[in-house]
Structure 1
Amino acid sequence: MAGQLLLDLRDASTHQDKAAFRWNMQRLGRELGSALAHTWEMAEATCQTPLGEATEHVPAAQPVLACILRAAMPLHQGMLDVWDKADSAFVSAYRKHHDRGFDIEVEYLGAPSVAGRQLVLVDPMLATG
Structure 2
Amino acid sequence: MIIHSLGKGNSLLNKFVAEIRDAKIQKDSMRFRRNIERIGEILGYELSKALNYRSQKVHTPLGTKEMSLPSDDLVLCSVLRAGLPLHQGLLNYFDNAENAFISAFRHHRGDEDAFEVIVKYFAAPSLENKTLVLTDPMLATGKTLENVLKALKDHGKPKQIHIVSVIGSQSGIDHIREVFPENTQLWIAAIDLELNNKGYIIPGIGDAGDLAFGEKL
- Scaled by the length of structure 2, what TM-score is found? 0.55
The reply to whether residue 92 of structure 1 matches residue 103 of structure 2 is yes
Give the aligned residue type for 1:53.
Answer: T
Alignment map for 1:69-88 (pairs within 5 Å): 69-88=80-99
Q: Is there any run of 5+ residues in structure 1 with no aligned partner, and where?
A: none
Residues 16-43 of structure 1 show CA distances to partners (whole Å, capped at 9, x for unaligned) of 1111101101111110111111221211
Please, which of 112, 116, 119 is the counterpart of residue 106 of structure 1? 119
Q: Which residue of 1 aligns with 2:8?
A: none
Higher mean displacement: 98-107 or 73-82: 98-107
Look up the match of 1:26: 37
Task: Figure out how many residues of one structure are paired with residues of the other and give that number.
Answer: 129
| AA at the equivalent of 2:15 | Q
**Superposed counterparts of 1:6-45, under 5 Å:** 6-45=17-56
Calculate percent identity across the aligned residue pairs: 38
Which letter maps to 2:22? D
RMSD, aligned CA: 1.8
Aligned to 2:133: 120
Counterpart of 2:97, as a letter, is A
SS of 1:113's equivalent in the other structure is: coil
Quick one: distance in 1 between partners of 2:39 and 2:70? Answer: 21
The AA in structure 2 aligned to 1:11 is D
After TM superposition, which residue ranges in structure 1, 4 or more long, deviate above 2 angstroms?
46-55, 98-101
Q: CA deviation at 1:100?
A: 8.1
| TM-fit CA distance, 1:120 | 1.0
- In 2, the alpha carbon distance for the partners of 1:31 and 1:86 equals 17
* TM-score, normalization by structure 1: 0.89
Q: Distance in 2 between matches of 1:100 and 1:123?
A: 21
